[in-house]
């Protein structure tokens, strides 16, 4: 046979170096990802290199037969076990293809069973040809089982299947060729100047190509793991942002509760205070009036309780507990009218209301209604407490572009520039207006009355023509 460009030892050294580098890569992958699949793959490569070296020593015996030396069989069997385990984990065969998983489990059982049998035969001094024949039959059976599993794994249609299939093909073909040429000594004479005259070369080339394909597959797997980590990090960051948004929302709810307590309950308690002072004045001279005022104080206290319940109710969606369905919201104009009339029912100020009848089929959002109600009520409380007005006009206008709430009185007025910065009432009103994306403007002069206007853009509501203004004169 013609000599090749490289000798058998040179080619073996080159292939061993290639396998060693791939084993190092697998160990580095294990150090980075801490997955058992990587160290198992590195050990598989190491066992195969050890097997090839032991086979070299076996070739020094001119009558060497495959399966003759137990140490070679042990090293090779360990390598094949690691290979099977690597395959099962790489492709997640147990979950994706239970049949292939059982076949691979059978291959593992066959390897363990053959090792035990070969150990018994070795201790029993069974002839080498018999042991070699059993070895060859077992390896051919495993190769056929592998050829059965590979097409099934192809159907898994995973991204790394191509690398696995091609690599397994090289590995199986290398093993089959190596087994075959052991029985053709007339052609393959094991000439050191011709490396292809040694059966182990074909097996090692098959392993090298298989390892190369698997290494590419591992690289792709590492890339997938990195992408998964990036996705998990992105999800974690989004979760943290969501938690931050929820925290800000919680803080806003707390601020809303504080504003509600001031604007709603605080206003009612202020009414109780004023009524109690009036009752104290009338107690001696006009006892009947005082009793009426005391009854009013009781009504106001009950109103405070109702308002507290309303605040709690406004923090959750109204639900019909019996039917388990959402209740329709109360029309905004009704709520505004009831609140205004309740405040000015026992006052000398004339109340003028110009409120539209909202389209029930297309109402304002609940949160907007709630905020408008509280702004409206606080503005009226301010008129009642400070304006000393004879008339107060409330006008709500809603078009397809803007919503406007205007409260005008003819009271004593004030200078807005001289309002204390710590005034909680006006600060609360401005904050509510800002939260709704609107503005609150105040026009007032001493002795000239006051006009407070809340305006905001709104594009999503419709309403029927405005109702005629009503007047409540007390």
Shared-domain flag, residues 29 and 141: yes
Q: What's the pLDDT score for residue 442?
A: 93
Q: Is residue 100 part of a domain?
A: yes
Shared-domain flag, residues 186 and 65: yes
Q: Is residue 137 part of a domain?
A: yes
Q: Is residue 297 part of a domain?
A: no
Segment 384-404 shows an average pLDDT of: 88
Shared-domain flag, residues 43 and 155: yes
Sign of CA dihedral 409, 413, 416, 422: negative
Q: What's the pLDDT score for residue 411?
A: 93
- Where does the pLDDT of residue 356 fall: very low under 50, low under 70, confident under 90, or very high at 90 and above? confident
Q: What's the pLDDT score for residue 470?
A: 41
Q: Is residue 239 part of a domain?
A: no
Buried b (16+ CB within 10 A) or exposed e, 351-365: bbbebbebeeeebbe
Q: What's the pLDDT score for residue 455?
A: 93
**Inter-axis angle of helices 366-382 and 424-435, nearest 10:** 160
- Where does the pLDDT of residue 366 fall: very low under 50, low under 70, confident under 90, or very high at 90 and above? confident
Question: Where in the sequence is the domain holding 13, given as residue range(s)?
Answer: 8-231
Last residue of a domain, one of 206, 231, 256: 231
Shared-domain flag, residues 337 and 203: no
Rounded Cα–Cα distance for residues 457 and 147 (Å): 72
Shared-domain flag, residues 21 and 160: yes
Buried b (16+ CB within 10 A) or exposed e, 141-157: ebbebbeebbeebeeee
CATH code of the domain covering residue 346 = 3.30.565.10
Segment 378-383 shows an average pLDDT of: 88
Least confident of 38-52, 255-269, 405-419, 445-459: 255-269
Q: Is residue 315 part of a domain?
A: no
Domain total in the chain: 2
Residue 125's region, left for phi above 0, alpha for psi from -120 to 50, else beta, is: left
With 0-12 / 13-18 / 19 or more C-beta atoms within 10 angstroms meaning exposed / middle / buried, residue 42 is buried
Q: Is residue 167 part of a domain?
A: yes
- Where does the pLDDT of residue 186 fall: very low under 50, low under 70, confident under 90, or very high at 90 and above? low
| pTM across the whole model | 0.45
Q: Is residue 399 part of a domain?
A: yes
Rounded Cα–Cα distance for residues 406 and 396 (Å): 6
Q: What's the pLDDT score for residue 361?
A: 54
Q: What's the pLDDT score for residue 63?
A: 76
Last residue of a domain, one of 196, 231, 266: 231
Last residue of a domain, one of 170, 202, 231: 231
Is residue 225 scored above 80 in pLDDT? no
CATH code of the domain covering residue 18 = 1.20.1070
Q: Is residue 341 part of a domain?
A: yes
């Amino acid at each position: 046979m013609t000599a090749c460009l490289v000798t058998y030892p040179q080619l073996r050294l080159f292939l061993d170096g290639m396998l060693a580098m791939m084993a190092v890569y697998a160990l580095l992958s294990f150090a980075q990802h801490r997955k058992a699949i990587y160290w198992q793959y590195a050990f598989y490569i190491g066992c195969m290199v050890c097997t090839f070296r032991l086979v070299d020593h076996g070739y020094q015996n001119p009558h060497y037969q495959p399966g003759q030396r137990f140490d070679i069989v042990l090293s090779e069997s360990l390598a094949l076990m690691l290979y099977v385990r690597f395959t099962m984990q790489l492709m997640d065969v147990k979950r994706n293809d239970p049949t292939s998983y059982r076949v691979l489990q059978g291959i593992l059982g066959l390897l363990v069973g053959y090792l035990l049998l070969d150990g018994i035969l070795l201790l029993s001094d069974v002839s080498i040809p018999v042991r070699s024949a059993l070895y060859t039959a077992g390896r051919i059976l495993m190769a056929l089982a592998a050829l059965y599993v590979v097409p099934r794994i192809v159907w898994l249609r995973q991204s790394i299947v191509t690398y696995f299939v091609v690599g397994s093909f090289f590995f199986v073909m290398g093993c089959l060729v190596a087994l075959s040429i052991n029985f053709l000594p007339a052609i393959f004479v094991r000439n050191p100047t011709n490396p292809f005259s040694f059966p182990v070369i074909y097996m090692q080339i098959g392993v090298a190509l298989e390892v190369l394909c698997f290494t590419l597959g591992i690289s792709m797997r590492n890339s997938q793991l990195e992408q998964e980590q990036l996705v998990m990090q992105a999800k974690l960051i989004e979760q943290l942002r969501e938690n931050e948004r929820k925290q800000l929302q919680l803080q806003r709810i707390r601020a809303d509760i504080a504003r509600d307590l001031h604007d709603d309950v605080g206003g009612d308690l202020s009414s109780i205070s004023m009524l109690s002072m009036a009752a104290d004045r009338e107690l001696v001279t006009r006892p009947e009036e005082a009793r009426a005022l005391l009854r009013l104080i009781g009504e106001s206290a009950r109103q405070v309780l109702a308002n507290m319940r309303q605040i709690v109710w406004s923090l959750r969606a109204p639900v019909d507990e019996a039917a388990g369905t959402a209740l329709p919201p109360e029309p905004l104009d009704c709520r505004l009218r009831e609140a205004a009339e309740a405040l000015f029912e026992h006052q000398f100020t004339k109340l003028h209301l110009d409120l539209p009848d909202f389209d029930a089929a297309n109402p304002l959002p609940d949160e907007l209604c709630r905020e408008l109600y509280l702004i409206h009520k606080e503005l009226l409380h301010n008129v009642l407490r400070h304006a000393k007005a004879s008339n107060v006009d409330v006008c709500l206008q809603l078009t397809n572009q803007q919503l406007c709430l205007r409260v005008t009185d003819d009271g004593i007025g004030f200078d807005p520039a001289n309002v204390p910065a710590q005034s909680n009432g006006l600060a609360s009103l401005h904050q509510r207006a800002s939260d709704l994306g609107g503005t609150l403007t105040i026009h007032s002069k001493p002795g000239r009355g006051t006009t407070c206007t809340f305006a905001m853009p709104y594009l999503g509501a419709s309403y029927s023509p405005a109702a005629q203004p009503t007047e409540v004169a007390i």
